[in-house]
Structure formats: C-alpha cells, structure tokens
Amino acid sequence: MIDRIVITWLMFYYVTPETGQPLLKPVAFGFIMFFGRVVDAVADPLIALWSDNFKGRLGRRTPFLLAGGILYVLVFIFLFYPPAPVAGLLNTAYLAIMLGAYFFLFTVYVCPYLALLPELARTSKDRVDLATLRAVFTLVGVGVALVGSGILIGLLGFKGMVWSLGLLGLVLLYLATLVKERDYAEAKPATLNLMEAVAATFRNRAFLIYLIGNTAFWFGFNIVTLGLPFYVTVLLGLDSEATAVFFAVAFGTAALTFPVVNILAKKIGPKKVMLAFMYVFVLVLPCFYFFGQGMLGLSPYNFGMLLMGLAGIPLASLFVLPDAIVAAVTDLEKHMTGQRREAMYFGAQGFVLKLNMGLSSLMTGFLLQYFGQTAAQPLGIQLTGPVAAFFILLGALVFHRYPEEEVNLRGQA
C-alpha cells in the first residue's frame, strides 16, 4: 500500500503541486528515482546477508521488522515535506537522500519479511497457501492505495492522506512482529561472507533456472504494464483516468483466479501451473497488437476489456507461485552448505528483478521511440504485446528444466 502510494503520487506531488510552482523538475525527479532504485537493488543482497547471519534473542528476521517498520513509515511521510517551496538544489538534494533512505528501509523490512515464508511454512501445501494469502493482501493494499488515496486527498489534502495511510501502514507492518519467529524457524545464523553467500546462491541450479524463467515472466508483464496507458489513451482515444478501469479488470480477474492457482499448485505442483499460465500469456499477449480495434464482433472498448480480463488469469500465478517456489528452493541450501540462508535467495531475486524493471523500461522506450507511439504511428505500442510474449516464451522454455521433483525430495530429506 505504502509503496504503491509513492509510485503513484510522489512524482505528481513534486512536479504539479497545488501551488502551481513545481517542487522539482521532471528530469531531476527521474534521475533521483533511478538513483533510489539503484540503492534498492544494491541493498537486497547486503540486507539479506545481514539477516541470514544475524544472531538475536528474537530470531534472525523479527529485529529487522521491528527496526525497519517505524523508520520506513517516517521516511515515507517526510518524502512529502520538501524543505523549499520551489524547485532547486535544496529539494533535489533532500529528495535524493530521502528516496535513497526510503528504498533502503523498504529492503530492510521486506527482505527479512519474505525470508520468513519458507521458515514459517515448512510444507509445499502450506507455502502455496501462505503465498496465496500474501497475494490477496497485496491486491488489497494496491486497491487501498489507488482508490483510497484519491478519496483521502479530496477530504484531507495530500499530507492528510500521507499521514492517514502511513499510520495504517505502520499498524499493518507491525502485525508480522507478533509471530514468535523462534517457535517456528531454524534460527541458527549463517556464517558465509557476502561473496561466498552470493556465489553459493547462484550455484543452486534449481534457483538459477527458476530465476531465469520468472525474470522473463516479469519482463514481459512489465512491458505490458508500461504500455497500458498508451493502449487506453492512444489506441482507444480515452482519457488517462480510464487506465485505472483496465487495471481493475486485470487485477480483479487475477484475484478471482487465485483459488484456482492455489488448488492446482497443491494438486499437480507449482511448476506445471506456472508453465501453463506462462503459455496462456504467450497466447494472449500477441492479441494486444489489435488493441483499439473491434474484433470478434466486439467494440474496440469491449475487446480491450476482454484482453485485460484474459491477461489477468495468468497474472494470478505471477503473484502467487514465485514465493512458494523460492521457499522450496531454499531448502536445498542445507544440502549445499549446511546452512539456512532464506533471505539471500529473496535478496538475489529482488536484485535481479529490480534490474529487470529498468531493462524492460528501456525495451518499452525503444519500441515507442523507434516504431511510433502516436495515433498516426502506433506500431511501437502495438508491438509491446508480441514482444512481451516472446520473452515470456523464452522464459517458459528455460523453466521447463526446473527440477521440481528433485527439489521436493531433497527438501524433505
């Protein structure tokens, strides 16, 4: 919820404030956001190592949640309190420092938090269930951020919205600390240094195969996500506000598909389910080439709605299954090094996926710039769907080699 507010509103707040005087130039904001993402990516393996090797009375993860939660929310609130009323060096330096701190503290909380999943849920069934519930609450948080924030801005103003949802977020963040970690987790600290830990993680063949497949899956999804505002405004000719409706259709369909993913994953295994949904994406996304056109007897608007609904079906697996698969793969670590290093696996994945976001943005920008992004020249927009499908297909072909049976057998040993 909090992170979605930052992604949705922070640039708008700085570039088009209520006073009419920009607090920051758009290009400066873009560079600062890129800097924050670099901090975010670099922090993942560092925090992961710290958490895996941490020795404390409350366990290896809970102390990070306790310390990170309050600091994360405070920095989130202060992001919306720039020191100067107009754009300038002071606001630039302030936002760079605060946004770097924000992304660092995001990792301080989230990386150990994710590492709790395989520690608290020891069986494949429990991990799929816990990952499904986490996906459900992720969508709830996104919904509160996208819908509730707008309502609160109208009632309380920007800062009133930030304080209200920041305090709500603080309560939700600290609910996780009520779990008595040491009652469930094998909390013996790891001893590897950073280079040893990273190298050992990427020597895990099952993790590497999964990571390539999942990265390709997200790469394709990110391209389509970045393209959606162009589908709506350029290809359909609607106002930008209508983009939220199309997002809602996709996420709503994903939420309805969560139980199907959960049941199938427990019955036939996460690998087969994820592969099946990857191929659904491969079939659906090329049809985005025809977004904005009437097809199958439907109007352009309704055909676009149909495509977003169909895309929401495989999207459900992208929210649910990766966490469950990483949780299973981490069990192999005790056979490789004799240690449990769950956080490093989620940290390594976070590092790669955050770089993946940047690369998918570059790919989208390349398509739009060199093939067209206007109603007169829409080819760049139309190609986003087929290109996304191509990368997901490559990921699926690699993910076929994921040794799920071996992971399950060795994990239970």
State the first-to-last Cα distance of the chain, in angstroms, to the nearest integer.
38
For the stretch 353-400, pLDDT in tens is 888 877 887 788 888 888 988 888 999 999 999 999 999 999 999 999
Q: Which of 15-19, 123-127, 193-197, 311-315 has the lowest mean pLDDT?
A: 15-19
113 has pLDDT over 80: yes
412 has pLDDT over 70: no
19 has pLDDT over 60: no
187 has pLDDT over 70: no
Average pLDDT over every residue of 147-155: 80
Phi, then psi, of 372 in degrees rounded to 5: 110, 145
Do 1-177 and 193-413 come out as alike in CATH topology? yes
- What CATH class is the domain 1-177? mainly alpha
For the stretch 128-146, pLDDT in tens is 888 888 888 988 888 888 7
Res 413: pLDDT: 53
Instruction: Return d(Cα 77, Cα 103) in angstroms, integer.
Output: 13
Instruction: Return d(Cα 309, Cα 251) in angstroms, integer.
Output: 8
Res 101: pLDDT: 94
Average pLDDT over every residue of 277-304: 93
Those residues whose C-beta lies under 8 Å from the C-beta of residue 268, and which sit 6 or more positions away, are none
Res 196: pLDDT: 82
* Domains of the chain by residue range: 1-177, 193-413
316 has pLDDT over 60: yes
Q: Is 389 exposed, middle or buried (0-12, 13-18, 19+ CB in 10 A)?
A: buried
User: Is the CB of residue 365 less than 8 Å from the CB of residue 226?
Assistant: no
Instruction: Return d(Cα 84, Cα 75) in angstroms, integer.
Output: 17
Rounded alpha-carbon distances, angstroms, from residue 230 to 12, 225, 292, 326, 383? 18, 10, 10, 34, 12
The vertex-70 CA angle with 68 and 71, nearest 5°, equals: 65
Instruction: Return d(Cα 310, Cα 288) in angstroms, integer.
Output: 11
- What CATH class is the domain 193-413? mainly alpha
Q: Which of 101-110, 188-197, 310-319 has the lowest mean pLDDT?
A: 188-197
Res 241: pLDDT: 67
